Amino acid sequence: MKRQNVMRATAVAALLSLGLTACGSGGGGSEEASSTLRVTLANHVWTDIIKEAIPEFEAESGLKVELTQLGEDQLSDQYNVKLNAGTDEIDVMMYRPLQEGKLFAQNGYLADLTERVEGNAEWDWSDFQSGPVEATTFEDKVVGVPLITEREVLYYRKDLLEKAGLEVPKTLEELEAAAKQIKEENPDTAGFVARTGRSAAVTQFSSYLYSFGGDFIDDSGKSAIGTPEAKEAYDYYGRMIREYGPENVSTDMSWPEAMAIFTQGGAAFYTEADSLYKNATDPADSKVAETVGFAPMPEGPAGSKPYNVPSWGLAINEASANQDNAWKFIEWATSKEKTLEVQKAGVPGPRSSVWEDPEGISTYPKDLAEAIAVSAENGVGYDRPLVVSVAEAREIVGDPIVAAITGEDAAKAAEAANTSFEAFLEDEK
Partner 1 sequence: MTALSTETPQPGPAPKGPKKTGWQAYSDWANDHRKWLFAAPAMVFVGILIVFPLAWTLYLSLTDASGSVRAESDFIGLENYAEVLTDTQRFWPAVGRTFYFTIGALAIQMVLGMCIALLLWRPFKGEKFVRVVILLPLVATPVAVGMMWRLILDPNIGFANQLLNFFGIPGQPWLSSPETALTTLLFVDVWQWTPMVVLILLAGLTSLSDEPDEAARIDGATAWQRFWYVTLPLMMPTVIVAVLLRGIDALKTFDILYATKGKGGGSFNEVETLNIYAYGLSFDYMDYGVASAVLILFFMIIVACMWLVTFRRKGSK
Contact stretch for partner 1 (CB under 8 A) within 39-47, 126-134, 216-224, 245-253:
245-253
Q: Rank residues 260 and 276 by Cβ distance to partner 1 and give the closer one.
A: 260
Q: Which of 110, 233, 261, 417 lies at the binding interface for partner 1 (CB under 8 A)? A: 261
Contact stretch for partner 1 (CB under 8 A) within 84-92, 178-186, 204-212, 334-342:
84-92
Contact stretch for partner 1 (CB under 8 A) within 81-89, 231-239, 269-277, 303-311:
81-89
Q: Which of 35, 36, 120, 264 lies at the binding interface for partner 1 (CB under 8 A)? A: 264
**Of 383, 399, 343, 374, nearest in space to 96 by CA:** 383
Q: Which of 84, 120, 126, 419 lies at the binding interface for partner 1 (CB under 8 A)? A: 84
Q: Which of 34, 69, 114, 251 lies at the binding interface for partner 1 (CB under 8 A)? A: 251
Beta strands in 85-185 (DSSP E): 92-95, 137-138, 141-142, 145-157
**Of 318, 346, 333, 340, nearest in space to 67 by CA:** 333
Could you say whether residue 389 binds partner 1 (CB under 8 A)?
A: yes
Task: Give the type of residue at 28.
Answer: G
Could you say whether residue 107 binds partner 1 (CB under 8 A)?
A: yes
CA distance linking residue 186 with residue 58, whole number of Å = 55
CA distance linking residue 226 with residue 217, whole number of Å = 10
CA distance linking residue 239 with residue 221, whole number of Å = 29
Could you say whether residue 423 binds partner 1 (CB under 8 A)?
A: no
Could you say whether residue 74 binds partner 1 (CB under 8 A)?
A: no
Could you say whether residue 419 binds partner 1 (CB under 8 A)?
A: no
Which DSSP string do the residues of 315-354 spell out, in sequence order? Answer: EEBTT-S-HHHHHHHHHHHTSHHHHHHHHHTT---SBHHH
Please tell me whether residue 161 adopts helix, strand or coil conformation: helix
Could you say whether residue 429 binds partner 1 (CB under 8 A)?
A: no
Instruction: For the chain, give the number of residues.
Output: 429
The residues pairing with 192 across neighbouring beta strands, listed in sequence order, are 269
Could you say whether residue 186 binds partner 1 (CB under 8 A)?
A: no
Please tell me whether residue 190 adopts helix, strand or coil conformation: strand
- Give contact residues for partner 1 (rule: CB under 8 A): 1, 3-5, 7-8, 10-11, 14, 17-18, 21, 73, 76-77, 80, 83-86, 103, 106-109, 196-199, 246-252, 260-261, 264, 266, 388-389, 391-392, 395, 398, 402, 406
